[in-house]
Chains A and B, each alone.
Chain A
């Protein structure tokens, strides 16, 4: 547990609406990540951040944007939600060092109708 919280934990929205998911960490980890998990696909990386204002794309970044203005917060935005973005979203942070272990948050279940 690395003090990671995600909000909201559950959200139902309609196609075309903007959605922002928040990841908050209390451990001052440098790296933060957003994954999505869908049946049959496992976890796939959307975007990641290696510092404040430093972000990069993952393997499934289309339709998503991120921002990191503070070390502790990493926001994932769906500018115009689509039904294909219905998924469970996990945030993770990395403690760089001897273990380089990623810690995951509890997840946000997003349903786009």
Chain B
């Protein structure tokens, strides 16, 4: 699976959009981009994933650049409950589906 690079930490004001970047310059054509988050002491939670098109669900939007070497997770109206560590993961959708977690971005939402 391709390696990802994320900022260690970010801050965002409550009610504003939180934009979390991820670089995955070695991504291959059949690898997907997945985002998970982990709120303190809880198990990781799936947020969204995509291959090359932008995706949106009830939690977030995922913007993938045309060359697929980077992506941005957008939380449109961040709340205090969005404070968490966010993981960007790139992997093939096949086989045993092992997730390789990096260090992630610690997002703090400030009141």
Which positions in A face B, CB cutoff 8 Å?
A: 4, 31, 33, 35, 42-45, 48, 50, 56, 58, 88, 90, 92, 94, 96, 99-107
Contact = CB atoms under 8 A, between A and B. Distances in A.
A31 B97 contact: yes
Contacts of A106: 42-43
B45 A100 contact: no
Contact of B104 (A31, A42, A45): A42
A90 B36 CA distance: 14
Interface string B70-109: 0000000000000000010000010011111111100000
A31 B102 contact: no
B43 A96 contact: no
Interface in B26-67: 32, 36, 41-46, 49
B111 to A, nearest CB: 27
Contacts of A101: 46, 49
A99 B97 contact: no
Given A42-B103, A42-B104, A56 B44 contact: no
